[in-house]
Amino acid sequence: MADRRLLETWVSGTEEPDAMPTDEGAQEMGVQESGYRFREQLGAVVTDDYLYEEEVSEDERMIINMGPQHPSTHGVLRLQLELEGEMIKRCRPVIGYLHTGMEKTAETLTYMQGPTNVTRMDYLAPLHNELVYSLATEQLLEVEVPPRAAAIRVLMTELNRVSSHLVALATNGMDIGAISMMMYGFRERELILAFFEKTTGLRMNHNYIRPGGVAADLPPGWRKDVKQILKTIPKRLVQYDDLLKENPIWLARTQGVGVITAEECRAYSITGPILRATGVDWDLRKVFPYSGIGQYEFDVPVGAHGDVYDRYRVRVEEIIQSLRIIEQVADMMPSGDFRVSDRKVTPPPRARIDESMEALIHHFKIFTEGFRAPPGETYAAIESPRGELGCYLVSDGGGKPWRCHIRAPSFYNLQALPVMLAESMVADTIATIASLDPVMGDVDR
């Protein structure tokens, strides 16, 4: 029988001498993430109804490190796994290897410089980072962007959602052994990145969505480029389905693997495709619309089982729904300005700088000193490809945020790993991590 005294000590919250081995790995793992528990109410809770097993010698248990250099941990993520044979008894994610201090850096930059910084957090969805920061800044300024600027923002972020999900499908397939999926996903992503480069000048980390609107209008011929994307990607999605949807190896490796319930998702503040794969219809684009996205028709795909397979299917369906939104935006794109006309926020047109000394001075002061935001605090949230992405800003009346904090979805979603991996096979670890679609820049921001 397992040591009942150790379990009782854990539940009571008291310490007992020599209750745990003294080796470093066991001390770091602790007992708080034990796999010997029922899942009840909100999350994993130990009750008096203990699960016992036959006594296992210490020689049959080992603690191993997966990562931070392992390619299938999707970045510098380290997992401490306590194994009993090939069964995972406990899992402890260890983060912090990529810490960049971007939130603190944001407090040294003007509001106009902010998007250059935050765009690098979630580097697979940079435009979403820029959007949420700009929305929070505009709430402080009490500024509303023109309809064309809002429509361009929706167009670019939904294209970004498609490109991000394509990477998720590609890497998920590769991690389980579907190498073809890796090549297909990145092939289609190139269409979108080429359009981003044509529009913003960069394939990634664009600094395109800024407080007050966007940096520049859509380029000539943008409708043709978008039409080509809308024509190509749906056909290729059918190929993905033919490759994976009913593939017996794919089904065996994903169905019933990495399961998490809706109650556990709520307990751990997990959002995005992971939450929706459990059957919860929650999407900020529907419940709290932003940038006019509420005027477009689209559905919110949901799953039923909360496993790796359902998370894969939700992302495939979300690509289809994002393409629906993109098509509507392209058809309904309003005319007008692509940024607000308030001179306190917006720099002068480029042509005016060559004609007017006042315009040159205005341009110089906007980009060196920035603009001042009224004192106050605000929070803006959007639906990123990984879940709720929020930005909390505090202004003291100066030209820089006094406090900036990002509610990063990957950071919260990683909390699901100990729940998903408890009592699972070690071979399922990589498939489960891939289904979370974590971006470590989003975690260690």
| Strand, helix or coil for residue 445 | coil
* Prediction pTM value: 0.85
Other CB atoms within 10 Å distance of the CB of residue 390: 19
Neighbours of 49 (CB within 10 A): 8
pLDDT at 350: 78
Q: Spell out the per-residue pLDDT of the chain, length 445, in tens.
A: 334 333 344 334 444 444 444 444 444 555 443 333 334 333 333 333 333 345 556 667 888 888 787 777 788 889 999 988 888 888 899 998 888 889 999 999 999 999 999 999 988 999 999 999 999 999 999 999 999 999 999 999 999 999 999 999 999 988 888 888 888 889 999 999 999 999 999 999 999 999 999 999 999 999 999 999 999 999 998 888 888 888 899 999 999 999 999 999 999 999 999 999 999 999 999 999 999 999 999 999 999 999 999 999 999 999 999 999 999 999 999 998 999 888 888 888 878 888 889 888 888 888 888 888 999 999 999 999 999 999 999 999 988 999 999 999 999 999 999 999 988 888 899 999 999 999 988 898 8
Q: Hey, what are 327's tokens?
A: 């098509």
Q: DSSP code of 35?
A: S
Predicted local distance difference test score (pLDDT) of residue 38: 36
Contact of 336 with 214, CB cutoff 8 Å: no
Looking up tokens 């203990």, which residue turns up?
A: 50
Domain with CATH 1.10.645.10 in the chain: 102-443
CB 268 within 8 A of CB 412: yes
Name the amino acid, one letter, at 442. Answer: D
Q: What share of residues in the chain are helix, strand, coil (percent, to 5)?
A: 50, 10, 40
| Contact in structure between 42 and 29 (CB atoms under 8 Å) | no
Q: Identify the CATH homologous superfamily for domain 102-443.
A: Cytochrome-c3 Hydrogenase, chain B (1.10.645.10)
C-alpha to C-alpha distance for 8 and 144, rounded to whole angstroms: 58
Write b or e for each residue in 298-311: b if 16 or more Cβ atoms lie within 10 A of its Cβ, otherwise e.
Answer: bebbbbebbbbbbb
Among the residues of 64-203, which ranges form H helices? Answer: 102-106, 114-118, 126-141, 147-176, 179-200
Closest by CA to 245, choosing from 319, 327, 168, 310, is 310
Q: State how far the Cα of 402 lies from the Cα of 386, in Å rounded to an integer.
A: 27
DSSP letter assigned to residue 239 = H
